[in-house]
Structure 1
């Protein structure tokens, strides 16, 4: 899989996981908000909000119906009580029930209590539901403080001549204990007297405001009731705090419902920020570290250091000791492999350049020596001929001239070798090829080469093929290649070395081979591997004045330029075999007669 696809899948996977986590957190926050709002509603008015939930969460077992302990705690906090009745009006289960509440209800009695046609100190709420085949009646009751207070105020209310509200001391104590208050309003809604009124309660009401406070007491923190007297035109208002808190009437800057929603949203946003920060840190660790490592590696490559940067333990940062990729580097495996290859290539090129520079220096030193040697002879003889104090004979002058001409020819050969070497290295194409009969042509070339001042006659043996072989070659190049190989074999081996040249036709392989085999000392592996390098000489330059150290490189380049190739087999003490191979597709064969 390509790095583009791996990174795409990684980031898609991260986004999906992040989205799922955010959705889960959003769901949790929504659930928390709903729970808090429900709890708040239950706390404010258990009869309308909590009773239904209490029934829905109830469970029926062999011992009867069981309720949620959390909701039962809300019943207790609201100073309420619960009873469950069977179909006959008998109480099955009681919770926080006062002693003055009956344990059995006649059908009409329960209805009278509910409709408040019969005196009962509690407000009751009924819920009837069938559960597991049984019909249950749940009674929720809460002390009717407001009704009792109104009844007492109706009996004992009075205003002093000074307009002060006169209430019995017991009623005063009870109002104070309940954090309640009493107001007396005139016909226009203006307060003329009050007792224990909080500062948050207005001293004047419009008709609409009194209706709103009576209907939606939870908005204002107080549940109020009022009694209007026709004779005095006064309205008596009594208020009790919802939740029985002395600060209930104070309007908060932010309503509780909004505060709960804002807390949930703030938590959701905070959780999302934390998640994305963690993802960013994780991505920086997972993707940033490998990128910084690769940048450091590229920088070190620019400085000529081609090995991967190491950690404190001396191990490559991208791999374990076992050689496997570290997890955060695996996604960049393609890039890391490319950097490894680049480093290896650059290091190899650096080594090759260093080696080439060394070989070039050696070759320049050698070719300079080879050029200076004949030049010194020419210069020396020229000085001798130019000397005015000595008269040379004609024979001596001719001898000097022959030597100078021989040295000049040697210098010319060196220069031509150098030129041809660079032309071959530039992969020039040969001129028009000629079709030659290889047996006769090779025999003629070797006979001429056998008569050479540098080696004795008879050191070259020729073995032709059994058939006439016509091959398209460029004769001057072929001659030069054969001469260079022959000279290398005869000049750099002992004087009794024999060179055997054999022409073979390999019909199975479809090849024509020219095998040049000597019985000399052979070469070691280093010399054999570098035999065809331009800047390498197997012997030092003082061993022979023949050659320039370019002969074998030229021979290989010329053979390959004519469509053939060259192979070497050698070992120390076993001689050397050099084979020139040409495909038969460029030759035609005639049976030898």
Structure 2
């Protein structure tokens, strides 16, 4: 998997995980809000909501029905009581009941209390449930505050003072203490009088409005009952809040659902903010640290420091002590490997450049020495000839002149070789080439090379021609220079009895040819072989009596490649060296 795909998959995975966490936070928030809404509904109207929850959560045991403790606690908070009746109306279990609550009900008695046809100090709610094949009836009772008050106010004579009914002091105190309001409306639904009425209660009712408010009390957070006077067409309304404020005061609507929504939304946004902050910090640690490490490494490379930065303990930050990638660096492993390769390449280049500089300095020192030596001889002989106090004979003048000519020729050779190396480096091409028969041409070139006095009087070059004619299109001065340089390298840098064998080998089907130079000299070690064709490497020191410039093999390689061939070397230390000039294969 490449770097792009790994990075893409990593970001997709992280976004997916973050999305799942966001969904989980949202789900938990919704669940909490629903639970709070349910608790609010139970608190406001336990008779319709809580009784159903009690029946659903009840369990049948040997002792009877057991209920959820938190729901029983809510019964107590509402100043209510709970009874469980069997099929015969007998109370089997009860909770928070007072002495005025019956322990046995007749069939018609319970219904009369429930429907209000028979006076009862409590408002009743009934729920029937089947458990274990037996039928149970749950009876929930809450103090009946409004019915007695409605009965009292509906029998009063109406007289108003400043829009308020004249109520007895005892009734007014009772209304305030129990946070109950009273309202009188006419036959058109218009308010005539009110007392202790909150702002959320309207001053005018339509038929639908009054039906909804008296039937669905939990929707409006107020429980209301009414009494209609057929003679006057007026209606008395008495109501109390389903959820009351703690302490004394006027009843008011508490927007608990809104508070729950605000709290839930705030908590969810805070959790998401914390999540994204933690995710950002984690991303900075996971991706920022490796990127910073790579930037530091690249900056170090720019300052010629090619080692990877290390921590305080001396370990690489990207790897464990065992050499494995650390987890946060794995996704960047391709980039790190590329930086390592770049660092290694630049380090090798720096070492090679330093080595090349050293070789250049050595070579320049050698060339300077080689130039100064013949120049000193020329200068010395010139001073001798110019000295007026001596009368040189003709023979001495000719001997001095010959020496000066030899030294000048050596200097010219050094300068030409140096110029040739730079011309080859710039990529020169051979001048016009000629078609020649290589067997005859190579024999003549080797005969001329063997005539060099530096090789001694004995014949040290042996030539083996190809069995058939070999025609080649070459620039003969360059090839002659190569033959002379290779022969000089073999005969001048080996023992005096070394023999050079030259063979011309024609390739099959005339597709090319090879000139093979093989000597039986000392051979070369690995270090010398590796540097044989370097421009700034001399196989001999500057004190050697060789007339060479130290550039012969470098020039030979450059000329062969410029003519479209290649040169190869095989050598064994102590046994000799084979140099192959290969063309066309």
Alignment TM-score, normalising by the size of structure 2: 0.84
CA deviation profile, 1:330-386 (whole Å, cap 9, x unmatched): 111221111111111111111111111111111111112222222222223333333
Deviates more, 1:290-299 or 1:52-61: 52-61
Kept after mapping to 1: 8 A contact 2:499/2:521: yes
Deviation of 1:15 after TM superposition, in Å, equals: 1.5
Residue 124 of structure 1 corresponds to which residue in structure 2? 124
Cα gap change, 1:184 to 1:384, in 2 (>3 Å): closer
Residue 503 of structure 2 corresponds to which residue in structure 1? 502
Residue 566 of structure 1 corresponds to which residue in structure 2? 567
Cα gap change, 1:95 to 1:238, in 2 (>3 Å): same
Kept after mapping to 2: 8 A contact 1:450/1:457: no
Deviation of 1:518 after TM superposition, in Å, equals: 2.7
Residue 480 of structure 2 corresponds to which residue in structure 1? 479
Deviation of 1:258 after TM superposition, in Å, equals: 1.3
Cα gap change, 1:236 to 1:512, in 2 (>3 Å): closer
CA distance in 2, matches of 1:533, 1:135: 110
Residue 519 of structure 2 corresponds to which residue in structure 1? 518
Secondary structure (helix, strand or coil) at the match of 1:374 reads helix
Kept after mapping to 2: 8 A contact 1:241/1:248: no
CA distance in 2, matches of 1:384, 1:491: 32
CA distance in 2, matches of 1:429, 1:184: 118
Residue 382 of structure 2 corresponds to which residue in structure 1? 382
Kept after mapping to 1: 8 A contact 2:213/2:220: no
Secondary structure (helix, strand or coil) at the match of 1:138 reads strand
CA distance in 2, matches of 1:227, 1:95: 33
Deviation of 1:390 after TM superposition, in Å, equals: 3.7
Deviation of 1:207 after TM superposition, in Å, equals: 6.1
Residue 539 of structure 1 corresponds to which residue in structure 2? 540
Kept after mapping to 2: 8 A contact 1:459/1:497: no
CA distance in 2, matches of 1:531, 1:319: 41
Deviates more, 1:523-532 or 1:97-106: 97-106
Deviation of 1:441 after TM superposition, in Å, equals: 2.8
Deviates more, 1:40-49 or 1:94-103: 94-103
1:314 aligns with 2:314: yes
Cα gap change, 1:459 to 1:305, in 2 (>3 Å): farther
CA deviation profile, 1:80-129 (whole Å, cap 9, x unmatched): 22233344434444333334333433221221111122222221112235
Secondary structure (helix, strand or coil) at the match of 2:577 reads strand
Residue 372 of structure 2 corresponds to which residue in structure 1? 372
Kept after mapping to 2: 8 A contact 1:517/1:577: yes
CA distance in 2, matches of 1:235, 1:449: 142
Q: Kindly report which structure 2 residues correspond to 1:405-424, keeping only aligned pairs within 5 A, or say none.
A: 405-424=405-424
Q: Kindly report which structure 2 residues correspond to 1:64-213, keeping only aligned pairs within 5 A, or say none.
A: 65-129=65-129, 135-148=135-148
Cα gap change, 1:481 to 1:383, in 2 (>3 Å): same
Deviation of 1:583 after TM superposition, in Å, equals: 4.8
Residue 270 of structure 2 corresponds to which residue in structure 1? 270
Residue 455 of structure 1 corresponds to which residue in structure 2? 455
Cα gap change, 1:432 to 1:87, in 2 (>3 Å): farther
Cα gap change, 1:186 to 1:492, in 2 (>3 Å): closer
Cα gap change, 1:240 to 1:531, in 2 (>3 Å): same
CA distance in 2, matches of 1:180, 1:493: 126
CA distance in 2, matches of 1:241, 1:250: 6
Secondary structure (helix, strand or coil) at the match of 1:317 reads coil
Deviation of 1:495 after TM superposition, in Å, equals: 2.6
Secondary structure (helix, strand or coil) at the match of 1:404 reads helix
Kept after mapping to 1: 8 A contact 2:532/2:554: yes
Residue 591 of structure 1 corresponds to which residue in structure 2? none
Cα gap change, 1:59 to 1:434, in 2 (>3 Å): farther
Residue 288 of structure 2 corresponds to which residue in structure 1? 288
Cα gap change, 1:416 to 1:326, in 2 (>3 Å): same
Kept after mapping to 2: 8 A contact 1:182/1:239: yes
Residue 337 of structure 1 corresponds to which residue in structure 2? 337
Cα gap change, 1:413 to 1:138, in 2 (>3 Å): same
CA distance in 2, matches of 1:485, 1:184: 129
CA deviation profile, 1:447-491 (whole Å, cap 9, x unmatched): 222221212132523141461240423322222112112112222
Residue 441 of structure 1 corresponds to which residue in structure 2? 441
Cα gap change, 1:564 to 1:423, in 2 (>3 Å): same
Residue 400 of structure 1 corresponds to which residue in structure 2? 400
Structure 2 unaligned residues grouped into runs of 5+: 160-164
CA distance in 2, matches of 1:324, 1:583: 49
CA distance in 2, matches of 1:562, 1:64: 113
Residue 464 of structure 2 corresponds to which residue in structure 1? 464
CA distance in 1, matches of 2:387, 2:350: 53
Deviates more, 1:207-216 or 1:131-140: 207-216
Kept after mapping to 2: 8 A contact 1:43/1:74: yes
Structure 1 unaligned residues grouped into runs of 5+: 586-593
CA distance in 2, matches of 1:102, 1:509: 129
1:489 aligns with 2:464: no
CA distance in 2, matches of 1:348, 1:528: 20
Kept after mapping to 1: 8 A contact 2:179/2:250: no
Kept after mapping to 1: 8 A contact 2:513/2:583: yes
CA distance in 2, matches of 1:222, 1:513: 114
CA distance in 1, matches of 2:261, 2:302: 58
Deviation of 1:241 after TM superposition, in Å, equals: 6.6
Kept after mapping to 2: 8 A contact 1:213/1:224: no
CA distance in 1, matches of 2:543, 2:503: 31
Secondary structure (helix, strand or coil) at the match of 1:340 reads helix
Residue 552 of structure 1 corresponds to which residue in structure 2? 553
Kept after mapping to 1: 8 A contact 2:241/2:252: no
CA distance in 2, matches of 1:213, 1:507: 113
CA distance in 2, matches of 1:125, 1:238: 20
CA distance in 2, matches of 1:527, 1:186: 122
CA distance in 2, matches of 1:258, 1:264: 10
CA distance in 2, matches of 1:508, 1:296: 60
Over the residues paired in the alignment, what is the CA RMSD in angstroms?
4.0
Residue 589 of structure 1 corresponds to which residue in structure 2? none
Count of aligned residue pairs for this structure pair: 570
Kept after mapping to 1: 8 A contact 2:82/2:97: yes
